[in-house]
Structure 1
Amino acid sequence: MVRLTILKFFVLVCLVRNNYGQEVVVGSGSCGSSQTQNMPVKYDNGAWNGGKNNSWSLMLFKGAELKQSGNISTIGFYPNCKNRNLDYPVVSRQRIYFKETLDDKITDVSKPDLTTYTLVFEGDINWKRKTTFNTVRNDIVLDKSFNYNKIKNLLVYFENESGVNVEMWGSIPFLSTYHGTDRGVYAIYKLSEKAKSTGNIEKSLPITYFKFSVSQPAIQLPNNQTVCAGDIFEFSGVSAMNYHTLFWSSSGSGTFEDNSILNPKYSASSADIKSGNIILKLTAEGGSGTVTKSVILTFKKKPIASIKRR
């Protein structure tokens, strides 16, 4: 099944918000500017390289470039413009994996351990080349959205096991941007040598488009709560989704043990107890907005034990 479409979009390092999601493009260029035939993918039938007819690449995109958190639903790349429209043959056995990382550059040229990655796309791709710069982007709709946190960087692994070439000479040229640091690695390999394949470091990355689907943060809180005066209150049953940061606050003057987790402990102050109840608020911030919900915490007096004498 072909999951690739062409959409019009002017390439800039930018963030665009619309009714369907948020769009980010990392890199910039124009028809005929810097190109790479190695990333995101290289197509070769192996006739002139000893039978190496498959490829993989690993690309690192920084959180400062992606600029937001959320569910990534689409990724896109930019084949260089051509003097006529061109549809390449459909290529099969294409796979894309995502992973968050704290690393800010590529340091290992060996094939990544994919058990630590998330498979987001597997299928056929029909690459296309167009005649103008604002129509060349090829979008791949992911089989599975990936929840990304902009605090970290993003690794994108592209695997091609089609075993074919699509150009008579060379592979598809993708527009790219120089980043100055080791941001990618690519390799070609025989299937029998896949596990031991090693690649070459690259300081450029293909211009890459990311679409984040619109998903507002959501919070689920328990009903209003009661605690004995003087006891530490601990939340349970709190849940949230589509967020990257959490923040608890109190209408009183007590303290949270950790106000950035779902189920924190709260130590009431004497003023809290004297007031009889307080409001505890949880705020969740995500790529598509902020949501706040609250719960009332009521303090009750501890029962006093009494001894009756006969």
Structure 2
Amino acid sequence: MLTDQGNQSMVTEFILIGFSSFPDLQVPLFVVFSIMYLAILAGNIIIVTTIRLESTLHIPMYFFLSVLSSSEVCYTLTIVPNMLVNLLKEKPSISLVGCATQMYLFLGFGCTNCLLLTLMGYDRYVSICKPLHYAVLMNQRFCTKLVVFSATSGFLFSTLETYFTFTLPFCGPNSIPHFFCDMAPLLELACGRNYVGEIIIFLICFLVVFCSFLLILLSYLLILNTILKIPTTEGKRKGFSTCASHLIVVVVHFGCASVIYLRPQKYTLNKDTFISVTYTLVTPCLNPVVYSLRNKDVQVALKKYWGGRTCMRKV
């Protein structure tokens, strides 16, 4: 919808094209995405509940994992329900305010997740490289401060990105080639340019995505150096297995994020839409699966609190 302000028409709502290019696939996609969303909610809620109930999991690594799982639930909540509704609409739309709110929340939780993954890499570094000082360095109070810092920083970055995006004039067209309000397609639709704002947005994306990944990479280079010094094969195997789950999630998460937010080329509908599905649905669905399948402590706790109850019901 457009409204006239002086001699210029201003956008008051956006049309989310999303998967409109694939009309025959919209119902099947609705079914598949609904199943994935339920799996995300169930998997992450089970992980958080299990970590809270099991006292042996009350250590920094699982504390960060529970916060990441909670953040993933909120992260998908800002996008997926609206996307599912729009898949069943002929003309899916979102108001200007709704679009700004969605982008703010999505970027806030997205940046927070990047920073949480960085903290989890640091936790693995301290655990393997400085095991004698682990309890002192990674005490509960310090870990809580790190989480608060991550969330505060994530939403501060999100505030700046949303502000510089929505201070640009939108005077038409108002069709977003995406299934949610993301920065790249919105910047393409803007009638004017704010080069300072765009530079700040890129620097924030670079700081959050690239610098976070570099810090994780540095942590793992130090970890690798320590593991290779372990004399026994079994010790090396345990060291690598401790980091495997986190590494898998990091590669998927940062790989997709860097393709979207750190490239110079213009927005392309089909490719970016399906890449976005990866980090909005696949990665949050992957996290609980990876951590539960590759972590014996979590497996034992899951069997204790969920497998046991299933057996009791059968009896």
TM-score range, shorter chain: under 0.3
Give the alignment's TM-score, normalised by structure 1: 0.20
The answer to which structure has the higher strand fraction is 1
Give the alignment's TM-score, normalised by structure 2: 0.20
Structure number with greater Rg is 1
